[in-house]
Structure 1
Amino acid sequence: MLASLLDHLRRRRRNYATLCALLGLGLITDRPHRAPGPLLEEVRTRDFLNVQTRNTPTTYYEGRQGPTGFEYELMRRFADFLGVSLNLDADHDIAGVLEAVRREGDLGAAALPLDPTLDGLMFSRPILPLQPVLVYRRGLPPPGEIADLEGLAIGTLSNTGTDRVMHELKAEHPWLSWQEADDIEVSALLGRVADGTLDAAVVFERQFRLNRLFFPEVEDGFRLGRPLSLAWAFPSERGLGLLREANRFLETLQDSGLLARLETRYLGRDNYLEYVGARTFIGHVHERLPTYDALFREAARDSGFDWKLLAAVGYQESHWRPDATSPTGVRGLMMLTNATAGELGVDNRLDPAQSIHGGARYLRSLKDRLPESITGDDRLFMALAAYNVGLGHLYDARRLAEMRGGDPDTWEDVRDALPLLQEREWYSKTRYGYARGGEPVIYVRNIRRYHEILAYVDRSRQQFHRLSARQPSGADDTGAPPSG
């Protein structure tokens, strides 16, 4: 799959020239100045940067607002820095990325560990630290040191750097053994721990943090070995020009604080879908919902939904906070993207009335656009999933459900297929590629749970009001006459 993501607005050369005049030479300031290498000249001549990458949550994937991911954000900004467009080839595993860089260039950005020993490649300055960690299946005795790993079935991924750490540890602990896989991603590896195929796995701490919500059976163990460094790879036989520019760009990002902000936005949270307890939710029902109750009811009348369902969506999106902003830039009580708000005529996403009515109309449009063959609750649950992950990824999951012998018109089978969008074996067969497919599963589950609680609270209130209407005017809430 060739994912070509062209930035259609040509970047102005004068902006690039200004930046170059202001910036230093990056890491390679101790070497004499050289003219730009042939690869940099080629990139500027053809007017686009060709990046070899992977479809993963830490690198690049299709999100609610289009292409996203930590390294995608860096790639896009680097192309802007050069004044060229961006083209991505994401049809790779890590070994494929490295080979493509050697063979085709221009650079590889795919959660690559800096490794100066690799032939035919050179690496940029370090971008972020990568700390390997040992994670294990819940129920096993918690491992706390290397000696506790003896006898465990451990897995890791080839060419990621975690395998290198394991080989280094084996030099000190000859009994240490593990399995390596080169055809899966981290989510699939954690799935093998969760289902009992493996007892434990070695991954990077950031990767585990991004995936742990979907694998509650997998526990954090302890850190292994020394931290590695995430870096970009370049072909070593094509000159230093592009590498120099990348180092200057990365240094600028670090000095300005933007690199740290991007790290926090994309990698600094376990997941923005916080699963809160029922007690907290009911507290918010009493404290926050009354402010927006009438708006949800009005939007429900206009859209044909149960007001309690819309309120449940609003709570899942923002906890009924009208000024909420997600790490990916969606805003407001119903967390609309800027593009979706524009299509719905919402000019102020932070206005609760506009947001609630806009969210209701958007959910209605998603439900109406689904195939007629999807009916009943299945249709509602798929519309809710599309609100979270996008209609394109939902259709991909329906196709995967059908490929696996399931019914693409039932939520149960589509729900089981959605997490497969995190696994390379499956998302490589889809139109829209990688998605954090576990999120819409949890998203729909939470909304159903909140809806059930709201329905219970609403029934209780109605029963209370009916009881109060039958009481004599002097009775208290228990129905007894006042004392004294």
Structure 2
Amino acid sequence: MKMPLRRHLPARAGSFFACVATALLVMLPAFPPVPSDARLNAIQQRGFLTAHTRTSPTIYYQGRRGPTGFEYELLRRFSDYLGVSLNLEADHHLDSVLPAVRERGDLGAAGLVLTPTADGVSFTRPIMEMQPLVVYRRGLNGIEGPDDLTDLTIGTLRGTRGTGTAASLRELQKTYPELSWKESGELEVAELLAQVESGELDAAVVFEHQFRVNRLFFKNVERGFMLGKPGSLAWAVPAGSSPGLLRQANRFLDGLQQSGELDQLIERYFGHDDYLEYVGTRTFLGHLDSRLPRYTADFEKAARKTGLDWQLLAAVGYQESHWDPDAVSPTGVRGLMMLTSATAREVGIGNRRDPAQSIDGGARYLRQLEKRLPESITGDDRLYMTLAAYNVGLGHLYDARDIAEMRDGDPNSWADVREALPLLQQREWYNRTRHGYARGGEPVIYVRNIRRYYEMLRYVERSRQQFFQLEQNATRNDTLMPFELVPPLNPGA
């Protein structure tokens, strides 16, 4: 059951556009003595920091190789900075984060827009800029500016005290009083984009970095135009009672900014949105000639050890890293087959950046996943689910099989599981599973890409073998010619 969007009717006067408050934020000195306070003392005494957050691909989620997300990465580093462990309360939606911070502390980190006027909380310095963006369903032509929005059914997520993407619409409503939209504090961006793709909404306003992370999962949702002024991502702490915690957070963020690490993290998580982008034939063939020959023997050796097709392993390696042994993902996985440090230890790999070791470890891990699948999954269904598990994790694959069964599908059929996987991005479904939220659209695209690369590898290999055979035949028999010689009509001419 879809969560409702609250309807906003046209109004002559909009609320104050709070995003300009970023310029009013007073930056604290970088290295003053940091006063202690009761909350900071309590955190240090109990040994952990509690953060209220949300499951979202831009914030925090359980990935195929453990917890990940931009704000999770910052929180993990901040807890290390304080010398404590991290405790996440992640079962929040946008409307419930700040009340939880006010009532229970310690900190809110959930895609929050800096709001100096928010009741009962104080915000840190800005972490990154967030630009509102209009997106729309493919087939709606000419969505190029505010004039094109007034007749559309638009959705967005509710902000705090008129901030965020909703604030950009309220500001626009001052000029276009006939503009209306729906908003909710309980949906997530993926659910909003799903409503655009399905036709429940014509358009939506989301933050640009959120769309970049989600765009490949929603092929029928198009980028429109930037709307209004950007806001600032920030963390929230209880107002008044946590000056020491707030100063420590600001010192931590200042240090990350000064060292360049913050910009590096932003680039790692949001600078590249092409991991699942299908590489066309021309680029693939270029890499096939320039890169694959260096690793073909390693793929063949790993295939002999595991009983897998070496071209399948090569296709997985291409999807993971484009056959680049120095590749590193935002979550810290690295190497040609993109192994985590934990997976590398599990399969006995000492150096993930060594291509031979990475290929060997990736092949053995793929075979391990295949052996752990139920025997009821057979044939190509077994292969595709093994590949999906390599991407999203075995636990999330099992959750998708459960969802397929809930929907009266066959949990042993890849076709039915493929339809269920994207539902792991919707609260309605992932709340009913064991492992919770996942970027379920990703393994669907991942498997599809590998199948395409595998077919191209096989085609090229068959073509080369046929050409080689033709050359061999011609060498063995000089009279064998690919064309028949036709004599001239007039031999004496």
Tell whether the structures are fold-level matches, with TM greater than 0.5.
Answer: yes
8 Å contact kept, 1:51–1:87: yes
Aligned to 1:133: 133
Structure 1 position 385 matched with structure 2 position 388: yes
Point out 4+ residue stretches in structure 1 off by more than 4 angstroms: 32-35, 472-478
Letter in 1 for 2:146: I
Q: Of 403, 411, 416, which aligns to 1:413?
A: 416
SS in 2 for 1:465: helix
Q: Of 445, 449, 454, which aligns to 1:451?
A: 454
SS in 2 for 1:122: strand
SS in 2 for 1:111: coil
Write the deviation string for residues 327-368 of structure 1: whole angstroms up to 9, x where unpaired: 322222222222211211221222222222221111110000
8 Å contact kept, 1:184–1:425: no
SS in 1 for 2:343: helix
Q: Structure 1 217/406 Cα, relative in aligned 2: closer, same or farther at 3 Å?
A: same
Structure 2 distance, partners of 1:209, 1:404, is 30
Structure 1 position 75 matched with structure 2 position 75: yes
Letter in 2 for 1:427: Y
Q: Structure 1 241/287 Cα, relative in aligned 2: closer, same or farther at 3 Å?
A: closer
Aligned to 1:174: 177
Structure 2 distance, partners of 1:285, 1:478, is 30
Q: Of 440, 444, 453, which aligns to 1:441?
A: 444
Counterpart mapping for 1:330-479 below 5 A: 330-473=333-476, 479=482
Structure 1 distance, partners of 2:122, 2:337, is 46
Provide the alpha-carbon RMSD of the alignment.
Answer: 2.2
Aligned-pair distance for 1:28? 4.1
Write the deviation string for residues 104-147 of structure 1: whole angstroms up to 9, x where unpaired: 11111000011122221221111111110111112212322211
Letter in 2 for 1:117: T
Structure 1 distance, partners of 2:41, 2:85, is 14
Aligned to 1:39: 39
SS in 1 for 2:415: helix
SS in 2 for 1:67: strand
8 Å contact kept, 2:95–2:186: no
Deviates more, 1:286-295 or 1:350-359: 286-295
8 Å contact kept, 2:474–2:481: no
SS in 1 for 2:469: helix
Aligned-pair distance for 1:35? 4.4
Write the deviation string for residues 264-294 of structure 1: whole angstroms up to 9, x where unpaired: 1112221422310022212322333233223
Aligned to 2:144: 144
Aligned-pair distance for 1:478? 6.1
SS in 2 for 1:44: helix
Residue segments in structure 2 that go unaligned for 5+ positions in a row: 1-25, 486-493
8 Å contact kept, 2:34–2:248: no
Aligned to 2:6: none
Q: Structure 1 45/353 Cα, relative in aligned 2: closer, same or farther at 3 Å?
A: closer
Letter in 2 for 1:468: E
Q: Of 283, 300, 306, which aligns to 2:309?
A: 306
Aligned to 1:4: none
Aligned-pair distance for 1:203? 0.2
Deviates more, 1:41-50 or 1:464-473: 464-473
Aligned to 1:119: 119
Q: Structure 1 478/437 Cα, relative in aligned 2: closer, same or farther at 3 Å?
A: farther
Aligned to 2:50: 50
Structure 2 distance, partners of 1:321, 1:481, is 46
Number of residue pairs aligned between Structure 1 and Structure 2: 456
Letter in 1 for 2:199: G
Deviates more, 1:443-452 or 1:59-68: 59-68
Structure 2 distance, partners of 1:475, 1:175, is 82
8 Å contact kept, 1:131–1:223: yes
Aligned to 1:15: none
Aligned to 2:103: 103
SS in 1 for 2:111: strand
Q: Structure 1 233/480 Cα, relative in aligned 2: closer, same or farther at 3 Å?
A: same
8 Å contact kept, 1:272–1:326: no
Structure 1 distance, partners of 2:323, 2:177, is 55
Letter in 2 for 1:70: F
Aligned to 1:194: 197
TM-score by length of 2: 0.87
